[in-house]
Amino acid sequence: MKIKYATNPTDTKSYDTSRLREEFHCAGLMESGEIKLIYSHYDRFVFGGAVPAQKSLKLPTYNQLKSEYFLERRELGIINLGGSGKVTVDGVEYQVNNLDTLYVGKGKKEVMFESSDPSSPAKFYLNSTPAHHEYPTTLGAKADVNKLELGSQSTSNERILYQCIHDDGIQSCQLVMGITELKEGNVWNTFPPHLHDRRMEVYFYFDIPGDNLVMHFMGQPQETRHLAVRNEEAAISPPWSIHSGAGTTNYKFVWGMGGENKSFADMDSVPLTEVM
Instruction: Give residue-wise pLDDT tens across range 174-193.
Output: 999 999 999 999 999 998 99
Residue 129 in contact with residue 174, Cβ under 8 Å?
yes
Strands across the sheet containing 45-50: 2-4, 35-40, 45-50, 124-130, 74-80, 101-104, 138-140
Tens of pLDDT, residues 217-258: 999 999 999 999 999 999 999 999 999 999 999 999 999 999
Domain 2-274 carries which CATH code?
Answer: 2.60.120.10
* Cα–Cα distance, 17 to 171 (Å, whole number): 38
Residue 210 in contact with residue 221, Cβ under 8 Å?
no
Work out the average pLDDT over 112-125. 97
Q: 29 burial class (0-12, 13-18, 19+ CB within 10 angstroms)? A: buried
| pLDDT band per the 50, 70, 90 thresholds, residue 266 | confident
The share of the chain scoring above pLDDT 70, in percent, equals 100
Tens of pLDDT, residues 61-106: 999 999 999 999 999 999 999 999 999 999 999 999 999 999 999 9
Buried-exposed string 111-148: b where 16+ CB fall within 10 A, e elsewhere: bbbbbeeeeebbbbbbbbbbbeeebebbbbebeebeee
For 217, phi then psi, to 5°, come to -95, 135
SS3 96: strand
User: Would you give the DSSP letter of residue 249?
Assistant: S
* Cα–Cα distance, 27 to 48 (Å, whole number): 9
* Cα–Cα distance, 65 to 73 (Å, whole number): 9
SS3 19: helix
Work out the average pLDDT over 109-123. 97
Query: DSSP of 212-231, one letter per residue?
Result: --EEEEEEETTEEEEEEE-T
